[in-house]
């Protein structure tokens, strides 16, 4: 049997057309976003689609990819492409991963989007970074992942006993790394969320990892099942902790799992993090949801990659809207590229199948781009393959 590639997804679609079938789900991000807005309640739509302030950083994240182009190399014969990556002792079939999204559970029609995401990860081999903020407990998600690796994203609470319990549970459930989000110990100014006066977790949504935790429950006078309002109030009091270098020392001594620091964007911070015991760097501006007025993630990626200098994997997200974007970030030096809003919209429109469609579309586009432009492997992609594009109108 001839070797199949991710690009063969387009052959499935064209084959369906010969039988009178056209894709039920959109093929472009813009159309996916437009239709998802109609499918999601306004309060959830604002949370997923919105950013901080006037959203200039959110727009900059997506627009930054337009400033770079891939130089085609001909007569290479890239008839097959190798998209595998090595990361934290794992050989992964693709360089993509599913970003943690704190309300992904609510984006599904049945209210269990975290489980749908885990099942989609199992079907595609694309790892899931499971958020601390989920509708279903982390153990259920780990079981649904099957053989596909999962990473656990930690919002570090200000109660170290609770933080340790969450980490221990992640270890026991089989997660392969702890991803510490650094920029969300307090929420940024989010006008869209404020306009709906809605913060889902304050309504008791997406806090199952807390309400199922024995340490969290031991601090309550009643079970969360009996008094959700009290549990939610306690959650609000313990959620936010400004993670510091001292905390990294503590966490490093707590677990043997790889520790990835999410939100590192300055090369000095990247070097210090690795010297202090971090195992991975995650360049991210939280999709523009947390801080406005900053640079895009893509603009900051090269300096961080240079600072890391091959000592550790460099994960990347923010603004990725297509397989082409993923290829550009990989050429810029990212080890793996996170998909966020696109899969949330795919989930809203098609559930588990919608996420699979988004991932297969991204992978097909990336695979075909590498084929047409003559890059047979991720190893053949580096900054020498990139050129800045011409900006502004031609004279």
Residues 6+ apart with CB under 8 A from 384: none
Q: Is the distance from CB of 270 to CB of 188 less than 8 angstroms?
A: no
Question: Rounded to 5 degrees, what angle do the CA atoms 67, 322, 133 make?
Answer: 110
Burial class (CB in 10 A: 0-12, 13-18, 19+), 2: exposed
Tell whether 287 is in a known binding site. Answer: no
Tell whether 321 is in a known binding site. Answer: yes
Tell whether 168 is in a known binding site. Answer: no
Give the bridge partners for 314, in sequence order. Answer: 281
Distance CA 339, CA 203 (A): 27
Tell whether 361 is in a known binding site. Answer: no
Instruction: Report CA 380 to chain centroid distance, whole Å.
Output: 24
Tell whether 101 is in a known binding site. Answer: yes
List the one residue out of 283, 362, 284, 286 whose CA is nearest residue 327: 362
Tell whether 109 is in a known binding site. Answer: no
Whole-number Cα distances in Å, 355 to 124, 307, 329, 330, 346: 10, 34, 21, 22, 5
Tell whether 19 is in a known binding site. Answer: no
Residues 6+ apart with CB under 8 A from 88: 176, 177, 258, 279, 280, 313
Tell whether 217 is in a known binding site. Answer: no
Tell whether 153 is in a known binding site. Answer: yes
Active-site entry in 21, 112, 241, 286: 286
Q: Buried (b) or exposed (e) across 17-46, using 16+ Cβ within 10 A?
A: eeeeeeeebbeebeebbeebeebbeebbbb
| 166 phi, psi to nearest 5 deg | -65, -40
Tell whether 190 is in a known binding site. Answer: yes
Whole-number Cα distances in Å, 272 to 92, 156, 250: 27, 20, 16
Tell whether 340 is in a known binding site. Answer: yes
Tell whether 71 is in a known binding site. Answer: no
Tell whether 319 is in a known binding site. Answer: yes
Tell whether 181 is in a known binding site. Answer: yes
**Catalytic residue at 266?**
no
**Residue positions in the annotated binding site?**
47, 100-102, 131, 153, 155, 181, 190, 262, 284, 286, 289, 317-321, 340-341
Give me the active site residues, please: 286
**Residue positions in the annotated binding site for glyoxylate?**
47, 155, 190, 286, 289
**Residue positions in the annotated binding site for FMN?**
100-102, 131, 153, 181, 262, 284, 317-321, 340-341
């Amino acid at each position: 049997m001839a070797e199949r590639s991710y690009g063969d997804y387009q052959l499935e679609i064209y084959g369906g057309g010969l039988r009178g079938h056209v894709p039920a789900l959109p093929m472009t991000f813009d159309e996916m976003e437009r239709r998802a807005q109609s499918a999601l309640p306004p309060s959830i739509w604002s949370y997923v689609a919105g950013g901080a302030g006037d959203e200039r950083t959110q727009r900059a994240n997506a627009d930054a990819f337009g400033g770079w182009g891939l130089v085609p190399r001909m007569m290479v014969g890239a008839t097959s492409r190798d998209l595998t990556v090595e990361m934290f002792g794992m050989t992964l079939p693709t360089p993509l991963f599913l970003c943690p999204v704190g309300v992904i559970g609510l984006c599904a029609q049945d209210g269990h989007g975290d489980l749908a995401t885990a099942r989609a990860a199992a079907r595609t081999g694309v790892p899931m970074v499971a958020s601390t903020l989920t509708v279903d407990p982390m153990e259920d998600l780990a079981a649904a992942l099957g053989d596909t690796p999962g990473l656990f994203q930690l919002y570090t609470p200000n109660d170290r006993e609770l933080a340790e319990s969450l980490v221990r549970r992640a270890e026991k459930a089989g997660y392969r790394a702890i991803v510490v989000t650094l920029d969300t110990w307090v929420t940024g100014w989010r006008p869209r969320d404020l306009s709906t006066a809605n913060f889902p977790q304050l309504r008791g949504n997406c806090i199952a990892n807390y309400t199922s935790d024995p340490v969290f429950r031991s601090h309550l006078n009643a079970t969360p099942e009996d008094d959700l309002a009290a549990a939610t109030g306690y959650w609000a009091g313990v959620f936010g902790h400004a993670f510091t270098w001292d905390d990294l020392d503590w966490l490093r001594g707590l677990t043997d799992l790889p520790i990835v620091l999410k939100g590192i964007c300055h090369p000095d911070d990247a070097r210090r993090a690795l010297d202090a015991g971090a195992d991975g760097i995650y360049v991210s501006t939280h999709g523009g949801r947390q801080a406005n007025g900053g640079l895009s993630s893509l603009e900051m990626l090269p300096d961080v990659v240079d600072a890391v200098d091959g000592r550790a994997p460099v994960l990347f997200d923010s603004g990725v809207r297509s397989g082409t974007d993923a290829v550009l970030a990989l050429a810029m030096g990212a080890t793996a590229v996170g998909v966020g809003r696109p899969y949330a919209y795919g989930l809203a429109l098609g559930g588990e199948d919608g996420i699979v469609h988004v991932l297969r579309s991204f992978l097909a586009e990336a695979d075909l781009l590498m084929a047409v432009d003559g890059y047979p492997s991720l190893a053949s992609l580096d900054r020498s393959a990139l050129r800045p594009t011409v900006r502004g109108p031609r004279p």
